[in-house]
Amino acid sequence: MQRSGALVASAILLLCIITATAIAAHLSTPVRGQPSATTISATSVATVPITNNSTQLIVNLSFPNRTKFTNGTLVSGKLNANLTSAGFVFTGLTPGNYALNLTTTIKVFLPPVSASVSSGSNALNLTVYQLSTFGIIVNATLAFNGTQPGPPITVKNGTAVRLMIQNNTTQVFNIAVVRNLFNTSSDNVQFNSLSSTISAGGSVNDTFIVSVVGAFYYQSMIENQAKQGEYGNFTVAF
């Protein structure tokens, strides 16, 4: 009986150690830095007439250079906007907050946003970004897409970048764009680009907006993985 009790106590102690280690590893792992959802108050447009005292929302989408984007479908839940000369128009609304999503065959990114709508006619101007997508596969040889360093990535300033990361190893990874190679400090991360923790065999799509021209790197942010070859050149051009 004493031996059985000792075995149970040892098992409980081992479980506590494993749990504490897992919690510590989770807390010390970098946290994802994606564009966070924002809520923007739409502007009341008293000069735009509407019938039956209903509420409507007119959304204008433009690129950073102010070129209008008039393509795709703008939705909020099950509500679809009608694309008119005035913009994307939601009709028959009630006052409240509406999460907006853009679906299009053209590579364009609308950051996560909700419109706060009041009674009557409302207008909202939002910025969209050209989207560039790159696939990164981390394999057992600790290489990106089979090479050390990984393939170079070049994007234009003022665009959105999506990294589709697949972890084909038994290790965990975080990947971010950094200014100083091998530096894993969160202060070194550029463009809010830090991915979520990718478990063994897992994948993640990480999207961020580049806003500074220059030469950078993308690298693993876990321990010494970057020094082992888990990095590549990341250039933001005019």
Average pLDDT over residues 109-122: 95
* Whether residue 122 sits in one domain with residue 182: no
Q: What is the pLDDT of residue 33?
A: 44
Q: What is the CATH number of the domain that holds 140?
A: 2.60.40.420
Q: What is the pLDDT of residue 44?
A: 87
CA distance 196 to 22: 16
* Whether residue 163 sits in one domain with residue 88: no
Q: What is the pLDDT of residue 28?
A: 36
First to last CA, the chain: 75
pLDDT of 202 strictly over 60: yes
* Whether residue 143 sits in one domain with residue 220: yes
Q: What is the pLDDT of residue 16?
A: 46
* Whether residue 98 sits in one domain with residue 165: no
Residue 31 corresponds to which amino acid? V
Domain containing 214 equals: 131-237
Q: What is the CATH number of the domain that holds 58?
A: 2.60.40
CA distance 191 to 207: 10
216 in a domain, yes or no?
Answer: yes
CA distance 207 to 98: 22
Number of structural domains, the chain? 2
β-strand partners of 130: 108
pLDDT of 125 strictly over 50: yes
Percent of the chain with pLDDT over 70: 82
Looking at 127, 156, 182, the residue that finishes a domain is: 127
pLDDT of 47 strictly over 70: no
CA distance 152 to 48: 50
5 in a domain, yes or no?
Answer: no
pLDDT of 8 strictly over 60: no
Q: What is the pLDDT of residue 53?
A: 64
* Whether residue 141 sits in one domain with residue 116: no
pLDDT of 26 strictly over 60: no
70 in a domain, yes or no?
Answer: yes
Highest mean pLDDT among 21-30, 44-53, 70-79: 70-79
Task: Please give the model's pTM, rounded to 2 decimal places.
Answer: 0.81
State pLDDT tens for residues 134-186. Answer: 999 999 888 999 999 999 999 999 999 999 999 999 999 999 999 999 999 99
| Mean pLDDT of the residues in the chain | 86
